Amino acid sequence: MRFDVITLFPEFIDHCARIGVVGRARERGLLDVACWNPRDYAGGNYRRVDERPFGGGPGMLMMIEPLRECLAAARAAAVMPGDTPAPLIHLSPQGEKLTQAMVRKLASQPRLLLLCGRYEGIDERLIEREVDAEVSIGDFVLSGGELAAAVLIDAVGRLQHGALNDEQSAVQDSFEGGLLDCPHYTRSESLGTAGVPDVLLSGDHAAIARWRRQQALGRTWLRRPDLLARTTLCDDDRALLAAFSREWLRAQAVPTSK
């Protein structure tokens, strides 16, 4: 899969895409990340890329012309005969909120173009004419789209076949299957096995799988009832959750000694 990122800060994207799972996916040839800087397409001695908005008001906007030329160059790069045009995603606080379901869909695309805004954002006419989708990473405002693009590249990149050492780990992650992940424990020299649920030390794989499913159901019930309400549970799941909630309510009722 290939990402082409239109950004005034290519070094930011490049750095993020060099580390961890995404960096490894790049090294394995599963992922390609290219950056395109609108400043390289700006005219004048100062290569200006911002302009005051019509109507006045605070802040500057990214200028249309350098962006449009930069975008055309990015679109034209690495195009093979028969390729369908790659969609352009504008990272924007006004976009559709990024979810794991959206990440899965995006991960099946061969190529994505990502447009990172800066300043007060981008001229609406460029968005109307060029952008295929707007994606937000949450209800807050960043100073630029680069962090959001890096988030999207990470979430999508790790789903590329062969990027994770064990693909099962992605299947068990939060939001896959509509639930949060169960808690995890590992060897600790200082803590030993204190606080580790007995079942995880039992070697009984069926019991461990059942406990993990129950914890995932219980955690989702406690922390994200909205997710649980949208998930179809089988009879077994309902029984596991009922037992979890009974136990949790009982524990809440027991007064704690201070």
Residues whose CB falls within 8 Å of the CB of residue 237, separated by 6 or more in sequence, listed in order: 213, 217
Which of the ranges 37-45, 137-145, 169-177, 189-197 carries the binding residues for ligand SAM, by CB under 6 A? 137-145
If we measure between CA atoms, which residue out of 117, 115, 114 comes closest to residue 144? 117
Closer residue to ligand SAM, CB minimum distance, 91 or 106 = 91
Strands 32-36 and 2-6, bridge-based pairing: parallel
User: Among residues 173, 181, 210, 213, which one is catalytic?
Assistant: 173
User: Among residues 14, 39, 51, 93, which one is catalytic?
Assistant: 93
Q: Is 227 exposed, middle or buried (0-12, 13-18, 19+ CB in 10 A)?
A: middle
How far from each other are the two terminal CA atoms of the chain, in whole angstroms? 56
In angstroms, what is the minimal distance from the CB of 107 to ligand SAM?
18
Which of the ranges 16-24, 135-143, 194-202, 207-215 carries the binding residues for ligand SAM, by CB under 6 A? 135-143
Residues whose CB falls within 8 Å of the CB of residue 135, separated by 6 or more in sequence, listed in order: 89, 90, 91, 92, 95, 96, 97, 98, 102, 148, 152
158 catalytic per annotation: yes
In angstroms, what is the minimal distance from the CB of 174 to ligand SAM?
20
User: Judged by CB under 6 A, does residue 23 bind ligand SAM?
Assistant: no
93 catalytic per annotation: yes
CA gap 52, 32 in Å, rounded: 35
Closer residue to ligand SAM, CB minimum distance, 3 or 211 = 3
* SS3 label, residue 64: helix
User: Judged by CB under 6 A, does residue 54 bind ligand SAM?
Assistant: no
User: Among residues 50, 65, 69, 120, which one is catalytic?
Assistant: 120
User: Judged by CB under 6 A, does residue 148 bind ligand SAM?
Assistant: yes
Please give the backbone phi and psi of residue 18, each rounded to the nearest 5 degrees, phi first: -105, -10
User: Judged by CB under 6 A, does residue 37 bind ligand SAM?
Assistant: no
Question: Which amino acid would we find at residue 46?
Answer: Y
In angstroms, what is the minimal distance from the CB of 151 to ligand SAM?
8
* SS3 label, residue 92: strand
In angstroms, what is the minimal distance from the CB of 101 to ligand SAM?
17
User: Judged by CB under 6 A, does residue 114 bind ligand SAM?
Assistant: no
Which DSSP letter does residue 179 get? S
In angstroms, what is the minimal distance from the CB of 158 to ligand SAM?
19
Q: Which residues are catalytic?
A: 93, 120, 158, 173
Residues of the shown chain interacting with ligand SAM in the complex, contacts defined by CB under 6 A? 91-94, 116-118, 120-122, 136-138, 140-145, 148
